[in-house]
Amino acid sequence: MPGAAEFVGVTRVVVTGGRVTVEEDAVRVEATKCVVLLTRMDGSSTPVDAKALSEALLAEYDELLARHAPIHGELYDPGRNST
């Protein structure tokens, strides 16, 4: 369709304890102490590489947070860094 954009998203499920299973189109998380969903989205007018998106989520949580906290901090609290 002309002018349409393609969106691709991938999610990594990180659990503490318990177990994760994939059943058809669902993810089941059972008996865990903590669940963190790390999601990466990309949308553009050109085809998106889902494998590259998945590989971007292989970094540890602290590394991902360090990269994105400054960006999201400005988006959600724009006055935070003003002088």
Parallel/antiparallel/unpaired status of strands 19-23 and 26-30 = antiparallel
Is 81 inside any structural domain?
Answer: no
Owning domain of residue 22: 6-76
Per-residue pLDDT band at 1 (split at 50, 70, 90): low
Is 39 inside any structural domain?
Answer: yes
Is 68 inside any structural domain?
Answer: yes
The structural domain count of the chain equals: 1
Average pLDDT over residues 56-69: 87
Q: Is 33 exposed, middle or buried (0-12, 13-18, 19+ CB in 10 A)?
A: exposed
Is 26 inside any structural domain?
Answer: yes
Q: Whole-prediction pTM value?
A: 0.66
Is 22 inside any structural domain?
Answer: yes
Take residue 79 and report the two structure tokens written for it. Answer: 């006055």
Is 59 inside any structural domain?
Answer: yes
Under a CB-based contact definition with an 8 Å cutoff, are residues 20 and 28 in contact? Answer: yes
Take residue 54 and report the two structure tokens written for it. Answer: 């998945």
